[in-house]
Amino acid sequence: MTAFSAPKGVPDYFPPTSATFLAVRDTLLGSARRAGYGYIELPVFEDTALFARGVGESTDVVTKEMYTFTDRGGRSITLRPEGTAGVMRAVIEHGLDKGQLPLKLAYAGQFFRAEQPQSGRYRQFHQVGVEAVGVDDPALDAEVIAVADEAFREMGLTGYRLELTSLGDSSDRPAYRERLQAFLAKLPLDDETRRRAGINPLRVLDDKRPEVRAMVEDAPLMRDHLSDASRAHYEQVKGYLDDLGVKFVENPRMVRGLDYYTKTCFEFVHDGLGAQSAIGGGGRYDGLMEQLGGQPLSGVGFGLGVDRSLLACQVEGVQPGDVSRCDVYGVPLGEAAKSRLVALSAPLRAAGVRYDLAYGGKGLKGAMKGADRSGARYALVLGERDIEAGVVQLKELATGDQREVPLVDVVISVREALGR
């Protein structure tokens, strides 16, 4: 019988890498928590129409990448390709916007896009996101960006940059769109690109083909056609970023893959990741709530890629968190020693010490190998003679240094040795 493999384009995380995965996710969530974002847990599938209307009918995400199926009740259901639309749905459904604003929410979980798999691009991926709803204050845009930047720095990452732009709003965007379409109409573009220019001309600015890039080099840019209000908003966001000490570069050609963005847009780009270099992105989406049937409230947020942040840590050789499975590992020599070391599990773990021991009667050599592999700092080695003397050997694995501690004091001695 052939064994099963995971579906194409889906990552598995197991020890030791899974410990880094959790550390990356928790660092991102921790940064949001420190800025007052409350946690929201949402379903991984929603009504298909929510994404069609929220993300945009003409986006690649909606036209090509959604996992959509009909459930047993004949409803069209889609595995969530992103988080913002679902958060807005929950905010509207539960009236979360009736309390104090801004409403600040954070989430983490799996998202699904049927993309062509490649390094850093998966069909199931993990994001940590935040959304701040109901206050159009440029300081809030800067806060959202700073929360992401702080988390990346806390992980130890340095090889990334923050790219920033403004996409204008409903008052200045239509005129710019017409201007860009008029420019594109004069170019000798192929039929498919011409069709794209008709639906979403901004996408043509993001075309990766060198011949198209050359043609759109002099295309008008939104940044140069912002209304006074949009420009003032953008300048204030940049000012607050300076106040927060967050470095950025402007990229007026940035094109986000989702249609709901207005004004501030940003991406965190890592140079060591090849083609899939965005470790996170986000922006403001002032019309989305109303479009989904809610109040006309503004919003700003981000989605950070946990998988790609993990890859970035590997590329830079930085290790967020602790990959060891345990702090202390028990090495019993004989049955009596084993029952003593088993009995120590409860008091050690209750004292917050991560404790594991050699199961399966491995003998000294096998048990010491287990201790090394566990990543523990200390082994507790216990033999017949130690039991008689009421002691246990506390061995530091990195140095081999060993000292006797009284069995009755073992929890205190272990905690002292670990510096806790």
**Annotated binding-site positions:** 82-84, 113, 127, 131, 256, 260-261
The answer to whether residues 354 and 323 touch, using CB atoms and an 8 Å cutoff, is no
Residue 153 interacting with ligand HAM (CB under 6 A): no
Pick the binder of ligand HAM from 21, 122, 176, 266 (CB under 6 A).
122
The answer to whether residues 111 and 126 touch, using CB atoms and an 8 Å cutoff, is yes
Least Cβ distance, residue 195 to ligand HAM (angstroms):
23
* Residues near ligand HAM (CB under 6 A), total: 26
The site map against ligand HAM for 311-350 (x = CB under 6 A) is ----------------------------------------
Pick the binder of ligand HAM from 138, 280, 320, 330 (CB under 6 A).
280
Pick the binder of ligand HAM from 54, 102, 305, 330 (CB under 6 A).
305
Neighbours of 322 (CB within 10 A): 12
* CA separation for the pair 39, 44 (Å, rounded): 15
Residue 287 interacting with ligand HAM (CB under 6 A): no
Binding segment (CB under 6 A) for ligand HAM, from list 71-79, 301-309, 351-359, 396-404: 301-309
Neighbours of 306 (CB within 10 A): 25
> Using CB atoms, what's the residue nearest to ligand HAM?
305
Stated as kind and residue range, the H or E segment containing 68 is strand 68-70
**In terms of CB distance, is 55 or 216 closer to ligand HAM?**
55
The number of C-alpha atoms within 13 Å of 283 and in the hemisphere containing its C-beta is 30
* CA separation for the pair 321, 306 (Å, rounded): 14
**In terms of CB distance, is 176 or 302 closer to ligand HAM?**
302
Binding segment (CB under 6 A) for ligand HAM, from list 100-108, 120-128, 362-370, 375-383: 120-128
Binding segment (CB under 6 A) for ligand HAM, from list 15-23, 119-127, 206-214, 246-254: 119-127
The answer to whether residues 142 and 237 touch, using CB atoms and an 8 Å cutoff, is yes
86: nearest Cα among 60, 135, 51:
51
Pick the binder of ligand HAM from 25, 40, 56, 83 (CB under 6 A).
83
* Residues annotated within a binding site for L-histidine: 82-84, 113, 127, 131, 256, 260-261
Residue 121 interacting with ligand HAM (CB under 6 A): yes
- First vs last Cα of the chain: how many Å apart? 51
Least Cβ distance, residue 107 to ligand HAM (angstroms):
9
Could you tell me how many residues make up the chain?
420
> For residue 301, what are the contacts with CB-CB under 8 A and spacing of at least 6?
84, 87, 129, 130, 131, 132, 144, 282, 283, 285
Residue 302 interacting with ligand HAM (CB under 6 A): yes
Helix, strand, coil percentages in the chain from 3-state DSSP, rounded to 5: 40, 20, 35
Binding segment (CB under 6 A) for ligand HAM, from list 118-126, 149-157, 176-184, 234-242: 118-126
* CA separation for the pair 45, 77 (Å, rounded): 6
Residue 102 interacting with ligand HAM (CB under 6 A): no
**In terms of CB distance, is 21 or 285 closer to ligand HAM?**
285
Residue 263 interacting with ligand HAM (CB under 6 A): no
Both tokens of residue 103?
């409403």
> For residue 240, what are the contacts with CB-CB under 8 A and spacing of at least 6?
138, 139, 141, 142, 143
Q: Is 7 exposed, middle or buried (0-12, 13-18, 19+ CB in 10 A)?
A: exposed
Binding segment (CB under 6 A) for ligand HAM, from list 40-48, 170-178, 280-288, 348-356: 280-288
119: DSSP letter = T
Least Cβ distance, residue 115 to ligand HAM (angstroms):
5
**In terms of CB distance, is 176 or 261 closer to ligand HAM?**
261
Least Cβ distance, residue 340 to ligand HAM (angstroms):
48
Residues that bind ligand HAM (CB under 6 A): 82-84, 113, 115, 121-122, 125, 127, 129, 131, 257-258, 278-283, 285, 301-303, 305, 307-308
